[in-house]
Amino acid sequence: MKRLLTLLALLIVTFGPMQTANAGEVARAQFTSTIEQREPVDAVTILSNNINKVHFFSELRDLQDQTVTHRWMFAGKVMAEVSFNVAGPRWRVNSSKALLPGWIGDWTVAVVDGSGATIAEYSFQYIEAEQ
């Protein structure tokens, strides 16, 4: 028994206490036409290509002391990455993307944590404007 306790103590000293992964999350997120007072003014799910800019808002929880990134993707390619230093347990951030009229299709923003893991993904459709 003494030998087992010595071995257990040696393992604890060698490896330290078990760490759990950060359980941070995206509490709210949406695409919007603009941000006012750090909040989205509307929800955009479909955007016509006569509009050339869109914003992405996200409220992050329990991701403090990490760098979180909004990764903008179109047609399987990363089009932009915007990173934020999260300084508190509840943190609101937003990024925007200028769009060219020819970039018709589905756009996705992945919210990526400090370890590079995707926390969540959100999409909108960019469509041809009606003439």
Virtual CA dihedral for 60, 63, 67, 73, nearest 10 degrees?
Answer: -40
Q: Enumerate residues 6+ apart whose C-beta is below 8 A from 41.
A: 32, 33, 34, 35
105 alpha carbon, distance to own chain's centre: 21
3-state secondary structure of 19: coil
Overall fold of domain 22-127: Immunoglobulin-like (2.60.40)
The mean per-residue pLDDT over the stretch 33-55 comes to 97
> Tokens 């330290």 belong to which residue?
16
Can you give the pLDDT at residue 3? Answer: 52
- Average pLDDT of the chain? 87
Cβ 59 vs Cβ 90: under 8 Å: yes
- Reply yes or no on whether the pLDDT at 9 is more than 60: no
- Band (pLDDT 50/70/90 cuts) for residue 131 is low
- Band (pLDDT 50/70/90 cuts) for residue 30 is very high
